[in-house]
Amino acid sequence: MVQFYSPNRRSVNRGIISVTADNLDAQGQGIARHQGKTIFIAGLLPGEQAQIQLTEEKRQFAKAKVVKRLSDSPHRVAPHCPHFKVCGGCQQQHVATELQVKTKASVLEHLIQRETGINISAHPVIRSPEYGYRRRARLGLQYHGKQRTLLMGFRQSQTNDLVSIKHCPVMRPELEQLLQPLYQCLNSLYAVKRLGHVELVLADSGPLVVLRHLDPLKQEDKEILRIFSVRYNVSIYLLGEEKSLEPLMEGQIAPWYQVNGLKLVFSPQDFIQVNDVVNQQMVAQALAWLDLQPTDRVLDLFCGMGNFTLPIATKVQATVGVEGVAELVASGQYNARLNKLNNVDFFHENLESDIHQQPWAAQGFNKVLLDPARAGAAGVMAHIVKLAPEKVVYVSCNPTTLARDSKVLLAAGYHLVSVRMLDMFPHTGHLESMALFSSEPMDIE
């Protein structure tokens, strides 16, 4: 067989080597050094010695797996979940929470220092409960013909294979206790072979289930679901072949949650923050950092359904929210009316396109909040500088783009006043954060 040389292909040394981890990265991988090369080792904690085998080797770094761990760190703990190491949802349940938090905060501080030259602490961290924090979870559904049974669960790490989930301690207990009866219900449907996924959401108004089905459901299946709904006091929504959402039964109460004393009604498909405890603290911190006054005009970019916009509106002269998803804009407008907030305007606009022709861009604002997706907010940073606001609060789910976008504000003379790491997703590699920028030097906390 003819083989072709690839300049990107590097041979991997399959030999066993001994190393001691001296650090941890945000993904929960141990970091060791061997012959001048940095090695990332899944499952190894700082201070632990192990025999490892390389699985991937690049010019500057390598990845490895543990063959035999020779010592244990005092930060190693027993995972709560029976599916840990198989399920791809959590990567760090073996790591004590304090070390997880310290590591993520250090990674955030390092990225900001590297990109901006500013040394700043990401403490105090906005904390989460260790377990029972997820109020939303989507599980895949697959029918196995040979076993004649349904598989319901999360994806295995780095594969498309499902891991059957019977327990999930990071879910809110009200959702976790539904897992087994929900599985039994779905497995009994005539349409069991043609189900796509199921989503569980815990609203303040109660739990709800969204079922994706690929073919129209028979009345017999709808009756099975109705019985489940009544027995477990769960609202059920059906997501059919046209991907149109329909309540299973008439008269179901629209889900809602509270933030900063406001009631926000949402569609089961709307984005809401998964961790309610952290969301409440995050919104309160943003409002405190903005130092809102009755004369303020505040701009909220990438505003979603108004999670920040509406609480801000209770304290200022006027608020404008801009969002690219029409359904979220509609939810925001509805909730402004529901909470009798007449000083809010929502705009449905693509913030990744030319924003200068968008109607909101002609208005003036003295304070700005933005909460972009992972790609960051490169397209709006120049306009924020043009607005010359007194304060900017940047909420981020990607520290790399936060650090990148920060440089635009810093180059315009803004001061990075404060940074917080948000422990939004304990036991995972997700690193959420928020930062405060001010046009004038200021002391805080």
Contact 218, 192 (CB under 8 A): no
Residue 168, annotated as binding a ligand = yes
- Give the torsion sign (CA, 279, 281, 350, 376): negative
* Nearest residue to 435 (alpha-carbon basis) of 411, 413, 417: 417
Residue 115, annotated as binding a ligand = no
Beta carbons within 8 Å of 435's beta carbon, 6+ residues apart: 393, 394, 396, 402, 406, 416, 418, 419, 420
> Which DSSP letter does residue 96 get?
-
Burial of residue 404 (CB within 10 Å: 0-12, 13-18, 19+) is middle
Beta carbons within 8 Å of 80's beta carbon, 6+ residues apart: 93, 131, 169
- Residue of 108, 264, 305, 397 marked catalytic: 397
Residue 87, annotated as binding a ligand = yes
Residue 372: cis peptide before it, omega within 30 degrees of 0: no
Residue 443, annotated as binding a ligand = no
* Nearest residue to 26 (alpha-carbon basis) of 406, 434, 432, 373: 432
Residue with tokens 């991997």: 12
For residue 340 the two structure tokens come to: 């009798």
Residue 273, annotated as binding a ligand = yes
* Nearest residue to 202 (alpha-carbon basis) of 163, 156, 164, 170: 170
> Which DSSP letter does residue 372 get?
-
Indicate left, alpha or beta for 36 from its phi (over 0: left) and psi (-120 to 50: alpha). left
Q: How far apart are CA 352 and CA 208, in angstroms?
A: 33
Q: Output the CA–CA distances (angstroms, integers) from residue 325 to 135, 160, 321, 364, in the order listed.
A: 22, 28, 12, 23
Q: Is 397 a catalytic residue?
A: yes
Residue 81, annotated as binding a ligand = yes
Q: How far apart are CA 99 and CA 82, in angstroms?
A: 22
What are phi and psi for residue 19, nearest 5 degrees? -140, 165
3-state DSSP call for residue 192? Answer: helix
Residue with tokens 């377990």: 131
Residue 366, annotated as binding a ligand = no
Q: Name the residues annotated as catalytic.
A: 397
Residues that constitute the known binding site for S-adenosyl-L-methionine? 273, 302, 307, 323, 350, 371
Residues that constitute the known binding site? 81, 87, 90, 168, 273, 302, 307, 323, 350, 371
